Amino acid sequence: MKQINNETSKRSMHGAGVDIKNPSKSKDINSKNLCQLNIGNDHYIVANNFQDKLWFHIRVYEKRLDNTTYPTKKGIVLDLEKWTKLLTWYVDDVDEAIKEYDDDNKDVALHIHLGCNYYVSLKQGYPVVNIRRWFLPCDLGITLTFRQWGKLQDVMVVLQDMMGSEMDKVSFCELSADHQNQMGVIECINCNPNGTMMLGGGFCPTMRSRLMRELNSKKQ
Ligand SMILES: [Zn+2]
């Protein structure tokens, strides 16, 4: 098994219900469907290769009369960059927000921008993790229970094992030299897709603290 040098490798498996021992996977990164894993309630994670790019679907499937399944429109697809960013930067923040949610004394309002209007959010009163693309006048996305979120993390670890080398190649614009000043961020279509970010505004607090950690670890 490939050694994973990422902090996520230490994460324990949440397990129940995800067939992580025997995912329908292929070692050939170019094959179309790399795996399809159930995270409960007909929600599936499907990794595939389309037009030479890796895509990660989190999607509701429905059953035909003959018990075979087919994908519905309910769901979201993340590219390799957003998937890797969620896995390597933000999983702990979501876990922390879930812990806080379970503590009645704390108000939770998590709002993470993965880029290009893709958000991961969680708020008090709704025990779910939302992964959505906000695109006025409508939004696309998926709502996961905390249990499904745990299973999604198991799948992320499995997929990191399968295609970690692809993930290692991902570069994030947030870490590029031109993002060290705010003008670079404001002019970035990924970070500021609607052109609404102003001077003096900048990154959301979660992203800012994450970036500081990333930059500090780079300097060491
Ligand atoms: Zn950017």
Mean pLDDT for the chain overall? 80
Q: What percent of the chain has pLDDT over 90?
A: 50
Sign of CA dihedral 62, 66, 68, 73: negative
Higher pLDDT, 34 or 115: 115
Gap from CA of 185 to ligand 1 centroid (Å) = 5
Instruction: Please write the tens of the pLDDT for every residue from 133-168.
Output: 987 656 789 999 999 999 999 999 999 888 878 888
- Give residue 155's Cα distance to chain centre: 11
Which residue type sits at 91? V
Gap from CA of 94 to ligand 1 centroid (Å) = 21
Gap from CA of 187 to ligand 1 centroid (Å) = 8
Gap from CA of 86 to ligand 1 centroid (Å) = 15
Gap from CA of 118 to ligand 1 centroid (Å) = 13
Q: Which residues pair with 61 in a beta bridge?
A: 71
Q: Which residues pair with 76 in a beta bridge?
A: 58
Peptide bond into 137 cis (omega under 30): yes
On the question of pLDDT at 220 being above 80, the answer is: no
Q: What is the pLDDT of residue 10?
A: 38
- Give residue 113's Cα distance to chain centre: 10
Gap from CA of 77 to ligand 1 centroid (Å) = 20
Q: What is the pLDDT of residue 164?
A: 78
pTM: 0.78
Of 94, 115, 79, 84, nearest to 193 by C-alpha is 115
Distance of alpha carbon 182 from alpha carbon 202, whole angstroms: 7
Distance of alpha carbon 30 from alpha carbon 156, whole angstroms: 19
Q: What is the pLDDT of residue 106?
A: 75
Gap from CA of 121 to ligand 1 centroid (Å) = 20
Of 116, 144, 147, 178, nearest to 43 by C-alpha is 144
On the question of pLDDT at 20 being above 60, the answer is: no
Instruction: Please write the tens of the pLDDT for every residue from 83-99.
Output: 999 999 999 999 999 99
On the question of pLDDT at 23 being above 90, the answer is: no
How deeply is 111 buried, as exposed, middle or buried, from its count of CB atoms within 10 A (0-12, 13-18, 19+)?
Answer: middle
Gap from CA of 22 to ligand 1 centroid (Å) = 37
Domains with residue ranges and CATH for the chain: 33-79 (2.30.31.10), 81-145+159-194 (no CATH)
Helix axes 146-168, 91-102, angle to 10 degrees: 170
Gap from CA of 183 to ligand 1 centroid (Å) = 10
